[in-house]
């Protein structure tokens, strides 16, 4: 039985089909992305400062292990937060895959920041003559673990791109004639229908609606519900063979 849910519209998007063949973020999204990138850069700069502070303590006798460990933890926290903000900025304003180097650097800058913020420290710890074997083991192990954590959280294993957004948006426009989709707080897919049985259940109290880009930005949802997709194809009499993302505005709909 269909259950009526509260529908919350996410502001800032557009509900009309885009005629542009390539996804272009809104001015608001680009502005937010720029702010997040500036903050992320500042946090990474402070993280490098914490690393430099830890390295400097390695050359002072007696070596203060506690303060070095504290600075490593501070370094890690700053890098992780910076990487989270950077990845969110990329969901707001993704790079294009056409420029491979730029796309990699923008998508994986969190990983690069982790390497810069920890690898020199690990090298200095392992080569420092002021530390005995036990101290090197303790500090080197902590720094290495921090490097791994920072690297894993900084890497984006499914980076957004202009091409991916374009294909997803055009796909939804072809299926529905618009670009609004639906999702829930705990969902992993976006939907074309608010009464889809996968989201309209007794366990769901609120359904959000907005653009494909907003679903990615707010919840990092990247996959379309197959049930909704098949339903739209059937209801509108669409032919899968006719689908071409770049010509979505030209495709016939019944």
pLDDT at 9: 60
Q: Among candidates 107, 250, 111, which has minimal Cα distance to 170?
A: 250
What's the whole-number mean pLDDT along residues 167-191?
89
Q: Are residues 98 and 34 in the same domain?
A: yes
> What pLDDT, in 10s, does the model give residues 131-161?
999 999 999 999 999 999 999 999 999 999 9
Q: Are residues 32 and 17 in the same domain?
A: no
* Residue 105 covered by a domain: yes
Task: Give Cα 115 to chain centroid, integer Å.
Answer: 19
Q: How far apart are CA 223 and CA 20, in angstroms?
A: 22
Q: Are residues 103 and 169 in the same domain?
A: no
Burial class of 132 by CB neighbour count within 10 A (0 to 12, 13 to 18, 19+): exposed
Burial class of 250 by CB neighbour count within 10 A (0 to 12, 13 to 18, 19+): exposed
- b/e per residue 52-74 (b: at least 16 CB within 10 A): eebbebbeeeebeeeebbebbeb
Which residues span the domain enclosing 91?
A: 27-154
Q: Domain count for the chain, please give it.
A: 2
Name the strands in the sheet holding 6-9, side by side, starting at the edge strand that comes first in the sequence. 6-9, 206-211, 180-183
pLDDT at 244: 57
Least confident of 10-19, 73-82, 174-183, 191-200: 10-19
* Residue 42 covered by a domain: yes
Q: Are residues 213 and 182 in the same domain?
A: yes
Question: What rounded mean pLDDT belongs to the chain?
Answer: 87
Predicted structure pTM score: 0.80
* Residue 1 covered by a domain: no
């Amino acid at each position: 039985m269909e259950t009526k849910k509260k529908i919350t519209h996410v502001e800032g998007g557009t509900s009309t089909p885009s005629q542009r063949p390539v996804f272009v973020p809104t001015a608001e999204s680009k502005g937010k992305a720029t702010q997040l990138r500036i903050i992320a850069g500042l946090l990474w700069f402070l993280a490098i400062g914490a690393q430099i502070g830890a390295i400097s303590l390695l050359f002072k006798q007696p070596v203060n292990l506690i303060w070095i460990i504290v600075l490593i933890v501070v370094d890690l926290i700053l890098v992780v937060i910076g990487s989270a903000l950077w990845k969110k900025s990329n969901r707001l304003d993704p790079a294009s895959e056409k420029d491979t180097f730029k796309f990699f650097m923008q998508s994986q800058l969190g990983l690069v920041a982790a390497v810069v913020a920890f690898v020199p420290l690990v090298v200095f710890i392992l080569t420092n003559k002021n530390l005995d074997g036990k101290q090197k083991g303790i500090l080197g192990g902590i720094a290495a673990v921090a490097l791994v954590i920072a690297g894993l959280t900084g890497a984006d294993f499914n980076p957004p791109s202009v091409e991916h957004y374009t294909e997803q948006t055009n796909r939804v426009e072809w299926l529905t004639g618009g670009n609004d989709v639906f999702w829930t707080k705990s969902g992993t897919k976006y939907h074309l229908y608010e009464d889809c049985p996968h989201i309209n259940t007794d366990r769901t109290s609120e359904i959000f609606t907005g653009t494909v880009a907003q679903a990615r930005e707010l919840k990092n949802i990247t996959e379309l519900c197959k049930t909704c997709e098949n339903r739209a194809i059937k209801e509108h009499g669409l032919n899968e063979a006719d689908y071409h993302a770049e010509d979505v505005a030209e495709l016939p709909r019944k």
